[in-house]
Chain A
Amino acid sequence: MIHSKFKTSLLCGSVAVAMASAAGADTVSLFCSASGAEYQLCSDAATAWAKDTGNEVKINKMPASWDEALPLYQQLLSAKSPDIDVMLLDVVWVGMLKDQLLDLNTVVPAEEIAQHFASTVAAGSVDGKLVGMPWYADTGLMFYRKDLLEKYGKPVPKTWAEMTDTAKVIMEGERAAGNPDMWGYVWQGKSYEGLSCDAIEWLASSNGGTIVDAAGAVTVNNADAIKAVDLAASWVDTISPKGVLDYDEESSRGVFETGNSVFHRNWSYVWGTSQGADSKLKGLVGVTALPSGSAGGPSAGCMGTAHMGVSKYSAHPEAAASLLRFMTGLSEQKRRTIDAAYNPTIATLYEDAEVLAAVPFLGDARAAFDQAVSRPSSVTLGDYNQVSSAFYQAVHSVLAGETTATDAMSLLQADLEKIKARGGW
């Protein structure tokens, strides 16, 4: 076993070297996320790769909002532009960009692909083509103030209803104790893709389905989904500030990390930021899987795995593939996990002693990944954006109190069926 693994890595190493020398000094264009810490990680790694291989790398910043990054990719790709070689992909884009990305099965050895969780490889594949190499796993998680739960003798909530009660008790207690800015729960309620994630978590954990089921039928108008959205709407202006209707990940994190919220739903990067040396909350934050709709029910974090892909129109596919393999490879994933708590997609890293020492919650996070719920992008393919945008706008109008969940979900059902009938999936 050890022997064969050793041989594999030797083989990979030699392939990488051979590729680099054959490619010579190519300039590869890479798209990195624009947010501070993540950009630094990405560009450091790319620079290291360039130094190792003698190639050059041109690092582009993606637009700060990922909703804006996709149209940029689509424009570059539909113009068959060679300005884009390697790009960071959100899992929901895989189906939309599949025809314009390289099949990575042809450039990455099968053993290397097999190191990654099978579920993440499946999420990056369409019709047997692997177009998005798994880069880091992510899912919606519940962050909470350990110190406050202890102070009020409350357990970590298992259901949304329990979370609602606990948040209310602690919020009122802290306000009475002299912090008028205290809130119970901050999350992402802005009218954008992030709300689709938050809302599909409420639905899926309450037995309310995933908007469109695996067979392609629109299922969003059901009693459990309506109940789940109603519960979320009841948070606005009670345990959550009304401004939550305008919050994305970063603005909600701002409220939590200034110490003004008991609970916070976000991606795993918040573990890294809230434990930073200059964080007000260092040592006070706990993280757990999101609550369920009912006692003993499932927890459903939104699957938000990031992938990496190579453009079909790349002028240097070998160099691009070499960069992609470096970025998604074992040592780089290990570095990202230890330095910034990005969750690896390579199974063996979850048993690595160094990694576990740096990120103790990794074991729990893995359980959350296993239960993660996918947005219906692999069913709706090119129409996913339309489906998601109709969904988050409907949910947003309920949260804002403009309509009721019953009306919004039945209108949404009709709208989605219209999109489907108009030549959709």
Chain B
Amino acid sequence: MSRVLARRERRAAWLFLAPAIVVLLLVAAWPLSKTFYLSLTDANFGNPDQYGFVGLRNYADVLDDRLWWKSLSNTLFFTVASVGIETVLGIAIALLLNQAIPGRGMLRASILIPWAIPVVVSAKIWEWMLHDQFGVINAVLIHLGVIERGLAWMAEPGLALWVIVFVDVWITTPFMVLLILAGLQMISKEVLEAAYVDGVPAWRRFISITLPLLRPSIGVAVLFRTLDALRMFDLSYVLGGNSQKTMTVSIYARNQLVSFQQMGLGSAASTWVFFLVALAAILLIGLLKLHKPAEG
């Protein structure tokens, strides 16, 4: 009897899961397998119906391209720098907003503004603010006497990528703050109060109680941001265009596909990007122990 029930439950479960599985197959598995299929061909947009199979040659060709490696190192630098800074800032601001300060509601709402503006719009705004001749940032810095003549932010090899990191931090720190704040509010007050009564100093309470309990929230936030950062396209594309200084792997793949019309090579590059993101996801889930509950 119970076996029949179990079987019936299992069948019901599959029935409920079916729509989600179908949708996933349609929107994820189908395009992915199509991309993988094309990556094994020499298809071209100019004449997309005629193509031949070339095996794994496109994958080798991508790895043989200096620009791919440059894009990859840019992407990794961007990811580590931006996610790192956003995490630290995110924790700091979330701790601040978690205090009962007057006007907290307003403050919480207002920090979301950068996150609410579409990235392309933000990027365009920053492009003008950073303009070397007419930009407001140079005007302010010159006025303060920090620099003598306007800096060409995006033209300086050492600065361009940092500018992208900076704008990304400006845009996405609110997202970090929000996720971490939600985690902070789930930590029960009693634990912290008990430690306080026992005379544990504040920094110790933060290191030994708050941070470990926050780990799952921070982990999820870092995971989301890392996967996002590895696929980053819009910010670099608007601010840096096709400049090698700021090219990311997504821009590289887009150029092969769209600018150069090479469906085969472009699909191979996209597949490499997919592998990169998948690898990062697996490593991060393992490293941050996201599949395990928080200790405490």
Contact = CB atoms under 8 A, between A and B. Distances in A.
Q: State the majority secondary structure of interface residues on B.
A: loop
Interface in A67-108: 67, 70-71, 74-75, 78, 96, 99-100
Contacts, number: 91
Interface in B37-88: 42, 44-48, 61, 64, 66-67
A260 B133 contact: yes
Contacts of B134: 254
B110 interface: no
B211 interface: no
A382 B44 contact: yes
A151 interface: no
A9 to B, nearest CB: 38
Interface in A376-425: 382-383, 385-386, 389, 392-393, 396-397, 400-402, 411, 415, 418, 422-423
A393 B261 contact: no
B224 interface: no
Contacts of A120: none
Contact of A71 (B156, B241, B245, B259): B259
Given A192-B242, A396-B244, A397-B244, A245 B45 contact: no
A140 to B, nearest CB: 20
Q: State the majority secondary structure of interface residues on A.
A: helix
A241 interface: yes
B133 A242 contact: no
A241 B240 CA distance: 18
Interface residues of B, number: 33
A191 B259 contact: no
Contact of B132 (A241, A383, A393): A241
Contact of A99 (B46, B132, B156, B258): B46
A246 B154 contact: yes
B131 interface: yes
Contacts of B154: 245-246
B133 A243 contact: yes
Contact of A246 (B66, B67, B132): B132
Interface size class of A (residues with CB under 8 A): 35 or more
Contacts of B155: 189, 242-246, 400
A322 B268 CA distance: 43
A241 B46 contact: no
A401 to B, nearest CB: 7
Contacts of B149: 180
B157 interface: yes
Contact of A191 (B45, B66, B243, B258): B243
* 6 tightest A-B CB contacts, nearest first: A243-B132, A245-B155, A243-B152, A191-B243, A242-B152, A71-B258
Given A386-B259, A411-B66, A418-B64, 19 more contacts: A96-B46, A99-B47, A191-B241, A191-B243, A192-B241, A241-B132, A241-B133, A241-B150, A245-B154, A251-B131, A385-B260, A389-B242, A389-B259, A389-B260, A393-B243, A397-B244, A400-B155, A400-B245, A422-B61
Interface of B: 42, 44-48, 61, 64, 66-67, 131-134, 149-152, 154-157, 240-245, 255, 258-261
